[in-house]
Structures are given as C-alpha cells and as structure tokens.
C-alpha cells in the first residue's frame, strides 16, 4: 500500500480512537460507574466498499 494510504488510514484511526475515548470518558463521568462493567460496540462502515467492521468488548467503570 502507498504511503498516502497508510498516513490517511492512521489519521482516521487516531481520530476514531481519540474522539471515542473522550466520549466514553464523558459518559462515564456523568454516571455512577463504580464496580460496573459495560458492554461496548464500535462499528466502522465504508459504504462504497461494502465494508462493515464491528469490534466489541467490555469497559470497566472506575473503582
């Protein structure tokens, strides 16, 4: 793959990671999350490629 492709991919994924973390942290601050575990799911879609990729996992609240 080209360098331009790699750079644009990394930029997009960094934006997804940073903005998602900020949104999750804000939501967790707004609620009592002590001792709770939350099921999370992220979906990335590129309609023009027919791509839908889903990642899921658990996020533990602050103790």
Q: What is this structure's pTM? A: 0.82
CB–CB of 27/44 below 8 Å? no
Please report where in the chains the tokens 């839908």 appear, as a residue: 52
Q: For residue range 4-52, what is the model confidence (pLDDT) as tens digits?
A: 999 999 999 999 999 999 999 999 999 989 999 999 999 999 999 999 9
Would you say residue 62 has pLDDT above 90? no
What is the per-residue pLDDT for 38?
96
Would you say residue 63 has pLDDT above 80? no
């Amino acid at each position: 793959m080209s360098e331009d492709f790699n750079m644009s991919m990394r930029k997009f994924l960094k934006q997804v990671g940073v903005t998602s973390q900020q949104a999750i942290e804000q939501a967790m601050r707004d609620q009592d999350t002590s001792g709770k575990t939350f099921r999370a799911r992220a979906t990335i879609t590129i309609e023009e490629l027919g791509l839908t990729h889903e990642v899921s996992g658990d996020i533990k609240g602050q103790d």
